[in-house]
Structure 1
Amino acid sequence: MTTTAAPSPADLWPAPHVASPVDVTVTLPGSKSLTNRALVLAAVATGPSVVRRALRSRDTLLMAAALTSLGSAVDTSGEDWTVTPGAFDRDAGVDCGLAGTVMRFVPPIAGLARGSVAFDGDAHMRTRPIGEVLTALCSLGVEVRDDGRGTLPFTIAGAGAVRGGSVTIDASSSSQFVSALLLAGATYDEGVEVLHRGAPIPSLPHVEMTTTVLRAHGVEVDDSVPDRWRVAPGPIAPVDHLIEPDLSNAGPFVALAAATGGSVTVRDWPAVTTQAGDALRDILTAMGCTVERVADGVRFTGPERLRGVDLDLHDVGELTPVVAALCALADDPSVLRGVAHIRHHETDRLRALATELAGLGADVTERPDGLELRPADLHGGVFHTYADHRMAHAAVVVGAATTGVLVEDVATTAKTFPDFAGAWTGVTGGSAAS
Structure 2
Amino acid sequence: MTDTLWPAPVATTAVDATVTIPGSKSVTNRALLLAALAGEPGWVRRPLRSRDSQLMADGLRALGVGIEETVNNATGGSGGGEAWRVIPAPVLRGPARIDVGNAGTVMRFLPPLAVLADGPVHFDGDPRSYERPQHGVINALRALGARIDDGGRGSFPLTVHGSGALDGGPVELDASSSSQFVSALLLSGARYNQGVEVRHVGGPVPSLPHIRMTVEMLRLAGVQVDAPEDGGEKDVWRVTPGALLGRDMVVEPDLSNAAPFFAAALVTGGRVTVRDWPAHTTQPGDQLREIYTQMGGSYRFTEEGLEFTGTGRIRGIEADLHDVGELTPVIAAVAALADSESHLYGIAHLRLHETDRLAALVKELNDLGGDVTETEDGLRIRPRPLHGGVFHTYEDHRLATAAAVVGLAVEGVEVENIATTAKTLPDFPQMWRDLLAGAAARA
Aligned residue for 2:381, secondary structure, equals strand
Q: Deviations over 1:315-350 (max 9, x none)?
A: 000000000000000000000000000110000000
Partner of 2:197: 193
Listed as ranges, the gaps of 5+ residues in structure 2 are 72-81
1:276-300 alpha-carbon deviations (Å, 9 max, x no partner)? 1101000000001011111111111
Query: Of residues 39, 42, 53 in structure 2, which corresponds to 1:60?
Result: 53
Number of the residue aligned with 2:78? none
Deviation (angstroms), 1:303? 1.9
1:329 maps to which of 304, 317, 337: 337
State the match for 2:326 in structure 1: 318
Q: Confirm whether residue 259 of structure 1 aligns to residue 252 of structure 2.
A: no
In the other structure, the counterpart of 2:15 is 22
d(CA) in 2 for partners of 1:107 and 1:100? Answer: 12
How many residues in Structure 1 have an aligned counterpart in Structure 2? 425
Match of 1:126 in 2: 130
- 1:108 is matched with 112
Aligned mates of 1:283, 1:157 — CA distance in 2? 45
Report matched runs for 1:34-433 at 5 Å.
34-78=27-71, 79-86=82-89, 87-223=91-227, 224-430=232-438
1:306 maps to amino acid = I
Q: Work out the CA distance in 2 between the residues paired with 1:426 and 1:368.
A: 39
* Structure 1 stretch displaced more, 286-295 or 322-331: 286-295
For 1:305 and 1:54, locate their aligned partners in 2 and report how far apart those are by CA, in whole Å.
36
Structure 2 counterpart of 1:422, which letter?
A: Q
Amino acid at match of 2:257: N
1:105-145 CA-partner distances (Å, limit 9, x unpaired):
00001000011000010001100000111010011111111
TM-score, with structure 2 as normaliser: 0.95
Query: 1:431 Cα deviation (Å)?
Result: 6.4
Q: C-alpha separation between the residues in 2 aligned to 1:304 and 1:177?
A: 41
Q: Distance in 1 between matches of 2:33 and 2:372?
A: 40
Cα contact 2:168–2:195 (8 A) shared by 1: yes
Paired residues of 2:252 and 2:278 also in contact (CA < 8 A): yes
C-alpha separation in 1, matches of 2:375 and 2:67: 43
Offset, 1:10: 1.2
Counterpart secondary structure, 2:257: coil
Q: Is the 8 A contact 2:344 2:378 kept in 1?
A: yes
| Post-superposition offset of 1:169 | 0.5
Q: Which 4+ stretches in 1 moved above 6 angstroms?
A: none
- Measured after TM superposition, the shift of residue 26 of structure 1 is 0.2
Secondary structure of 1:248's match? helix
Q: 1:77: Cα distance to partner?
A: 4.5
Normalised by the length of structure 1, the TM-score is 0.97
Structure 1 stretches lacking a partner, 5+ long: 1-7
Q: Secondary structure at the match of 2:438?
A: coil
Moved more, 49-58 or 416-425: 416-425
Post-superposition offset of 1:368:
2.0
Render the CA deviation track for 1:146-191: whole Å, top value 9, x for unaligned.
Answer: 1111000000000010110100000000000000000010000000
Question: In the alignment, residue 83 of structure 2 is paired with which amino acid?
Answer: D
Q: Give the drift of 1:428.
A: 1.5
Q: CA deviation at 1:76?
A: 2.9
Q: Is the 8 A contact 2:13 2:439 kept in 1?
A: no
Instruction: Determine helix, strand or coil for the equivalent of 1:168.
Output: strand
